[in-house]
Amino acid sequence: MKISNIKKEYDKFALNIKSLEITNSVQNTIVGATSCCPNNEQHNIYGIIGANGCGKTTLMKIMAGIIKPDRGTIDNEGLTSRDITMIFRKPYLLHDTVLKNLLYPLKIRNIKPDNNEIEMLLNMAGLENLTNKYALTLSGGEQQKLAMIRAFIFKPKLAFIDEGFSNMDIESVALFEQYIQKTKDTTWVLISHQISAIKRICTNIFFMSKGEIKAKGETIELLNNPQIKELKEYLQYM
């Protein structure tokens, strides 16, 4: 995905993104070919970091096609709306059971569910015994896990996660992070305030401040050696 000259008025600032490119292959990143992925997995996982209100979620929603920018272009490079998904901080769950929620994306695509995969995903989320439970009665963490596996089940090519781990326990976070790192056919873009998580799994990050991308690059290099003032200030509490 390539976006250029995106402008969007919102809340405190105007979002102003000159250019941004999301690719799956590490070799094709705009910041160079060196891999910083754990276990030499050759696929990109992007992180977007920045203070509250800097435009991270707005940018993500624009990239996910949920809101339209006031100006600018987005080149999905052949991806359709069915290839892209977004998991919200507070996910929307259907007024239905856990299982019906999980199967919804397959239902609208007329894809027959793979029982083995369903079982694997439910076990990963710890929801295997709650399939008939009304989804809205799950705890906050369980709802986030359900939203995650619902996005995983149809294997999107591009997935945006907006603080999707914020209510999860550490074991669940570890399991989901492993899944994300292993799933090479999906390009992941995460927003998180947990810099430790960003360091663990993201290959590249974008740092945003006041509606603009102020810094972008490989995670380790950017976080260990921040060059710009706003990023140094942001990281001082790390």
* 221: CB partners within 8 A, 6+ apart: 36
What's the min distance (Å) between Cβ of 160 and another protein?
8
Residue choice 65, 76, 166, 221 for contact with another protein (CB under 8 A): 65
DSSP state of 106: H
Residue choice 30, 108, 111, 174 for contact with another protein (CB under 8 A): 108
| 188 part of the interface to another protein, by CB under 8 A | no
Residue choice 33, 40, 92, 236 for contact with another protein (CB under 8 A): 92
| 111 part of the interface to another protein, by CB under 8 A | no
| 10 part of the interface to another protein, by CB under 8 A | no
Task: Give the span between the Cα atoms of 3 and 158, in whole angstroms.
Answer: 14
Name which of 81 and 236 has its Cβ closer to another protein: 81
Name which of 83 and 221 has its Cβ closer to another protein: 83
What's the min distance (Å) between Cβ of 162 and another protein?
11
Residue choice 29, 44, 57, 143 for contact with another protein (CB under 8 A): 143
Name which of 188 and 207 has its Cβ closer to another protein: 188
Residue choice 54, 63, 84, 98 for contact with another protein (CB under 8 A): 84
Structure tokens at 179: 């899944």
Q: Where are the beta strands (DSSP E) in 163-209?
A: 187-191, 204-209
| Beta carbons of 62 and 3 less than 8 angstroms apart | yes
Residue choice 104, 194, 197, 235 for contact with another protein (CB under 8 A): 104
Question: Which strands, in side-by-side order, build the sheet including 158-162?
Answer: 84-87, 158-162, 187-191, 45-50, 204-209, 212-218
Question: What is the phi-psi region of residue 63: left when phi exceeds 0, alpha when psi lies from -120 to 50, beta otherwise?
Answer: alpha
Closest CA to 203 of 17, 64, 22: 22
Residue ranges in contact with another protein by CB under 8 A: 61, 64-66, 80-88, 92, 94-95, 104-105, 108-109, 134, 136-140, 143, 151, 154
